[in-house]
Amino acid sequence: MPINQIGFGPRTTAFPPIPVTLQTGGAFTIPSGQYQVTTGPYTFLQVFDPIAQIWRPHSTPTQADTYVVSSDGNNYRLANLTGTVVGAVITAGGTGYTNGIYPPSAQLGTAAAPSVTFAAGGGSALARGTLVVGGAIPTGAGNFTITGGSNYTFPPIVQISPPPAGGVPATATATISGGAVTAITITNQGAGYTAAPTITLVTNPLDATGAGAAVVTSATFALDNSGRVTAITILNNGAGMTSVPAISFSPASTTAATAIMCFTITTGVAQTSASNLGSGNIGFALGGLTGGTPTLTNPAISTGLFVPRLAMTTFNTTAGGGITFLDGGLHQTIPAGIAYASLSNGTISAAATAVVQTVGGVTDVSYLAPI
């Protein structure tokens, strides 16, 4: 039905909301049509990226996000990512691999067709990913020739042509000074490019005067990290994981990576010798971004995939602090402990030893309302 049906009066029982219950790792492709989508607190609305061949989160779920979606039956889905792998931080790219894009079906465990494998992480289903070798955009200023143009009041929007399907698109921003474009900053180096990309500068719609700027790759331009792993994108997130799974490669070379998780706290674990809890308190817990120094700048397929959400306990008056979580939060790493805010004096508790929380995946319900 056309979206302008909104406002024509209340829907009857002929158009009931459709509940979608998803367990850990579960996904539901939204049928063709237009819907008001209300996600559960642990379910992501995702959009399909036809270049990278992955599902990208629209945003981090809150307690009750609502979106209006126009689906073609393939471009949007709901996914409960709790207890799953969502990406990887590559900390060593190895050497000697053949440049290319290797989905699971093309991975043979050889230098010409390398493989990536995820351990179980205590889960019921293994994650599987596409391995990309080489083809990253270099970040050095000498790789680009800039014609600055004039009279810019806003930096123009930078568009970089995509790699072949299965690769990772690069992104960049422009810097202006004195009304001219003076620099290009690569914010995602991408992966899987086979040739120098085309870079287009699009004037910001708010800029009525800027014109004439252009960027081309220089004569010395060369794609970065040839023969090295440049990206791991997730095709199957796995399910039910309670710990961070190890990642292995074949051939192993010196390649190393850390899985980026989506955990929620399933059981609160008491802290050791928590103090200054006053007459009442509320506890908070948050895992940080996945650690490790990445070999490339690609937050769009790694730690930038979602923003962790704070976990929160119910109000309690126990001397050691409550461990019943009202919201288990969403975490890339396992929260190391609980911090308690004391309601008597507004201060934060201290614990002699912070105790890690029990994490994993949970079942969640979302709703689709036809419009």
148 pLDDT exceeds 80? yes
pLDDT confidence of 280, banded at 50, 70, 90?
confident
- pLDDT for res 20: 97
Q: In this predicted structure, what is the pLDDT of residue 14?
A: 66
Greater model confidence, 319 or 104: 104
Per the CB < 8 A criterion, the answer to whether 167 and 157 are in contact is no
Measured at the CA of 287, the angle between CA 278 and CA 304, to 5 degrees, comes to 140
- What's the average model confidence in pLDDT over 124-150? 96
Average pLDDT value for residue range 104-121: 98
Question: For the chain, what is the mean pLDDT?
Answer: 92
Q: What is the mean pLDDT of residues 68-78?
A: 96
For residue 341, the model assigns a pLDDT of 84
Residue 8, pLDDT > 60, answer: no
pLDDT at 354 over 60: yes
Mean pLDDT, range 217-236, rounded to an integer: 96
Predicted pLDDT at 274: 74
Whole-number Å distance between alpha carbons of 157 and 172: 8
pLDDT in tens, 182-203: 999 999 999 999 999 999 999 9
- pLDDT exceeding 90 applies to what percent of the chain? 79
What pLDDT, on a 0 to 100 scale, did the predictor assign at position 364?
Answer: 97
For CA atoms 38, 43, 49, 53, the dihedral sign is negative
Of 331, 230, 330, 350, which is closest to residue 281 (Cα–Cα)?
350
Model confidence at 1, in pLDDT bands (50, 70, 90)?
very low
Cα separations (Å) of 230 from 90, 226, 272? 7, 9, 42
331, pLDDT greater than 50: yes
User: 119: closest CA among 248, 245, 250?
Assistant: 245
What is the DSSP secondary structure assignment for residue 62, as one 8-state letter?
Answer: -
DSSP secondary structure of 78-141: EEE-TTEEEEEEEEE--S-PPSEEE-GGG--SBTTB-EEEE--TT-SB--EEEEEES-BPP--G
In the prediction, which pLDDT does 61 show? Answer: 82
**Residue 272: pLDDT band with limits 50, 70, 90:** confident
Q: Please give the pLDDT value at position 321.
A: 80
Under the banding of pLDDT at 50, 70 and 90, the label for residue 4 is: very low
| Reported confidence tier of residue 5, pLDDT bands at 50, 70, 90 | low
**pLDDT classification of 58: cutoffs 50, 70, 90:** confident
